[in-house]
Amino acid sequence: MAATTGQSVDLREPPSWRRSKNRIATILMVISFVLVIIPLGFVLFTVIAKGISIISWQFLTADIPPNVLPASIGGMGPAVVGTLEITALATVLAVPLGVLGAIYLNEYGGNRLLARLIGFFSDVMTGVPSIVMGLFIFTIWVLHFGYSGLAGALALGCLMLPIVIRSTYEMLRLVPDPLREASYALGASKARVTVTVVLPTALGGIVSGALLAIARAAGETAPLLFTILTVTTVNRNVFSGANTSLPSQIFANASSPYVGAQARGWGAALTLIALAFILMVAARLVTARFARNLQ
């Protein structure tokens, strides 16, 4: 556009090479987003395409057959039951403790060294590899009490704890101080204020954070490998005996050469993703509801 000499010059327009560089940078950013979309699309498409045909009531409830049998026989019932049992138990263990830990950090700890230390290491703990959590529970629990759903739940709980602490802490920080002060002015004790005023105010955010932590834990395999093993029939007792889960079964079937086993693997993958997706959507709904309530 050097030919604009003689005409009126638009001062707002930078020279063309600067504009082109800017355009190239913008295009690169869009390309990077496309690069993220492509694998996600492929994975979701493949899992749905290969998994949808095998999903049936029988698949979700029947016992796990030997790998050589075709996809039409048996299902993933024990894995569905195991995943639900173990994740539920992990939630019961980790969410109350995580919420209490966050209450300490925000309501009692304040700026104290101990509180800052706990907050810092709880963030660091989110980075501990899940396989290390599995080894930890193996050495401290399984070696003494044997394999069980409870051991798996302990490992998943260790993974969830710092996530719940972090998300709850962020929500408690949002609770306006005048609410607390008004309650103190009425003579309420700190515990009472926390339980009856602070927690209900932040409840929506806490629930949605917990749901995301559950979604993350439900998909974990590594912590369960050495804590629950795998079984082929439903184990309703989460506190004793080996158990199984959807991720463990997908891992076992992924390296199997048999078509039937692989098909069951895809079916289990679709079930697992659907479960995680439902939890994620539920979290979004709770968040939306919560945001509306606050306004």
Partner 1 sequence: MTTKADPAGPAGSARQLSERRPLGDITFQAVALAAGLLVLVILVLIAVSTSQQASSWFSSEGIKIFSSTWNPTNNQFGALPFIYGTAVTAIIALVIAVPVSVGVALLLTEVVPRRWARPIVYVIDLLAVVPSVVWGLWGILVFAPWIQHYYASVSSGVKGIPVLDSLFGGQTSGASFFTAGIILAFMITPIVTSLSREVIATVPAIDREGAYALGATRLEMINGAVWPHSQAGVVGAVLLGLGRAMGETIAVALVIGSSATITPHLFAPGYNMPAVIANEFGEATGLFRAALIGMGVLLFAFTIIINVIARVIVERSGRRQRGA
- Give, as ranges, the residues between 25 and 64 that touch partner 1 (CB under 8 A): 25-26, 28-33, 35-37, 39-40, 42-44, 46-47
Residue 135: Cβ-neighbour burial (10 angstroms; 0-12, 13-18, 19+): middle
Q: Which stretch binds partner 1 (CB under 8 A): 2-10, 145-153, 166-174, 231-239?
A: 166-174
Tokens of 68: 């050589």
State which residue, 1 or 100, has the beta carbon closest to partner 1.
100
Q: Is the Cβ of residue 148 or residue 221 nearer to partner 1 in the bound state? A: 221
Interface segment toward partner 1; rule CB under 8 A; list 10-18, 52-60, 67-75, 236-244: 10-18
Residues in 222-251 that interact with partner 1 by CB under 8 A = 222, 225-226, 247, 250-251
Q: Determine the size of the site formed for partner 1 (CB under 8 A).
A: 103
Would you say 270 and 51 are in contact if contact means Cβ atoms under 8 Å apart?
A: yes
Does residue number 189 form part of the binding site for partner 1 (CB under 8 A)? yes
Residue 6 touches partner 1, criterion: CB under 8 A: no
Closest to partner 1 by CB, 46 or 236: 46
Please give the residues from 81 up to 140 whose contact with partner 1 meets the rule CB under 8 A.
97-98, 100-101, 103-112, 115-125, 127-133, 135-136, 138-140
- The residue from 79, 272, 286, 290 that contacts partner 1 (CB under 8 A) is 272
Residue 282 touching partner 1 (CB under 8 A): no
Smallest gap from residue 187 Cβ to partner 1 (A): 8
Q: Does 257 bind partner 1 (CB under 8 A)?
A: no
Which of 57-65, 68-76, 174-182, 200-208 is the region at the interface with partner 1 (rule: CB under 8 A)? 174-182
Contact flag: residue 185 with partner 1 (CB under 8 A): no
